[in-house]
Chains A and B, each alone.
Chain A
């Protein structure tokens, strides 16, 4: 069965970096793009962008350029979200989701940024 399993919660200081992983199984990893979605505490869903698992091309929504980086390791069917120079307002749950229609989602990774 299709699964996206994300890495565990992270507590980081402002200015640090974090790398969230999303490991896919149960399907051909390079057949579907992956989206990244943010959900701040008590807030709605915010689409961050997506990465083609075939071409490795990434597109970022406004507000997620510069400090946010999507990457892949196709040898282990894993996508990564790296956030640099963390700020308190980056505190959120981050989700990966498969394909244009986001038919499968990871369980989410809580990133907490606090001094």
Chain B
């Protein structure tokens, strides 16, 4: 089983700042089958990034994904008020398709 470790657990930032979220895998994620999701309270998760770096339909270009192998990053270039949420990474390269534990981006 691939274990995904996200850091930091909580990120306290102000609107307009840059957010950098990390997702580290216990073993290489083949084909870079790594996705990022955003979840707001009381809502279902929303797909942001798949294939480590491809933005999903309708996702603003301030969201970008990078990385390969075992180290992946989600970057939000300038935080908007609606971006404060919890972010999860998930690998879908092998079963079980594990999630990271999440990073909460909160308003400073």
List residues of A whose CB falls within 8 A of some B CB. Answer: 35, 37, 44-47, 49-50, 59, 61-62, 95, 97, 100-108
Q: How many residues of B contact A (CB 8 A)?
A: 24
* A102 and B45 contact, CB distance less than 8 A: yes
* A61 and B96 contact, CB distance less than 8 A: yes
User: In the complex, A59 Cα to B51 Cα: how many Å?
Assistant: 22
* A44 and B102 contact, CB distance less than 8 A: yes
Q: Which of A101, A106, A108 has most chain B Cβ within 10 Å?
A: A101
Closest Cβ–Cβ distance, residue A87 to chain B (whole Å): 21
Cross-chain pairs A/B with CB under 8 angstroms, 11 sampled: A37-B45, A44-B88, A45-B37, A45-B88, A45-B102, A47-B97, A100-B33, A101-B56, A101-B92, A103-B47, A108-B44
Q: Is B78 an interface residue (CB 8 A)?
A: no
* A45 and B99 contact, CB distance less than 8 A: yes
* B47 and A102 contact, CB distance less than 8 A: yes
Closest Cβ–Cβ distance, residue A46 to chain B (whole Å): 7
* A105 and B97 contact, CB distance less than 8 A: no
How many CB-defined contacts (below 8 Å) exist between A and B?
56
List residues of B whose CB falls within 8 A of some A CB. Answer: 1, 33, 35, 37, 39, 44-47, 50-51, 56-57, 88, 90, 92, 95-102
* B47 and A101 contact, CB distance less than 8 A: yes
* A47 and B37 contact, CB distance less than 8 A: no
User: In the complex, A35 Cα to B33 Cα: how many Å?
Assistant: 16
Closest Cβ–Cβ distance, residue B28 to chain A (whole Å): 18
Taking CB atoms, residues of chain A closer than 8 Å to B88 are 44-45
Closest Cβ–Cβ distance, residue B55 to chain A (whole Å): 12
* A105 and B45 contact, CB distance less than 8 A: yes
Nearest B-chain residue to A62, judged by Cβ: B96
* B97 and A45 contact, CB distance less than 8 A: no
* B44 and A105 contact, CB distance less than 8 A: yes
Closest Cβ–Cβ distance, residue A38 to chain B (whole Å): 10
